[in-house]
Structures are given as structure tokens and as C-alpha cells.
Amino acid sequence: MRGLALIAVLSMPVLADVAPPPPAEPTVAAPATPVAAEHPGGNDKAPAAPMGVIEGGWAYVYAAWGAGVLGLIAYAASLFLRRSDAPPPGAP
């Protein structure tokens, strides 16, 4: 449990700037764009404009990779600390 608490404490500076800042002023929803009367593919429920694209978010990727690497390092350290100093069975 101490290891998990240590990871949480060490990851706080990385995750501090992940959340986007609040908007400066309230945003007003844009009016809905009209849907074309007939769509070439026969689907008249298709949106008139393309959908959005995810932008940014690299801080989450860096934090996830950092947590993964830190977990592997912690696991390797625990294996190293738990190793036995006795010779293997059958060794002279």
C-alpha cells in the first residue's frame, strides 16, 4: 500500500495541469445545422457537417506511460529485494 501511495504522490505534479482551465465566459450552443433533405447514400439522418476530432490530451498519455514504467520499476525492485541469497537446490 505504501508503494501505491508513493506513486499517487509522485504523479500529482504530472497530473496537475491535465485538467483544462474553466471557460472564461459561458458558451452558448450554436444552432443546429440543418440536415440535407436527401443524402446521396439514401441516409437522410446523416449530419450536414463532419463530427469533431479529439485534440490535445497528451498529458494523459504521458501520465499513463509514466505510471506504467514506474510500476515496472517498482515490481523489478520488489523482485530484487525479495531474492533469496541461498544457492539453488542441487548446486555444489
Ordered by start, the domain boundaries in the chain are 1-16+57-83
Position 65 confidence tier, pLDDT thresholds 50, 70, 90 = very high
Encode pLDDT of 68-80 as tens digits: 999 999 999 999 9
- What does the pLDDT read at residue 72? 97
Q: Can you read off the three cell numbers belonging to residue 41?
A: 447514400
pLDDT above 90 coverage of the chain, percent: 22
DSSP string, 1-61: -HHHHHHHHHHHHHHTTTSPPPPSS---PPPPPPPPSS-TTS-TTS-SSPPP-----HHHH
**Alpha-carbon span 47 to 44, nearest angstrom:** 8
- What does the pLDDT read at residue 64? 96
Residue with cell 439514401: 42
pLDDT (average), residues 30-45: 58
Q: Which residue has the higher pLDDT, 82 or 11?
A: 82
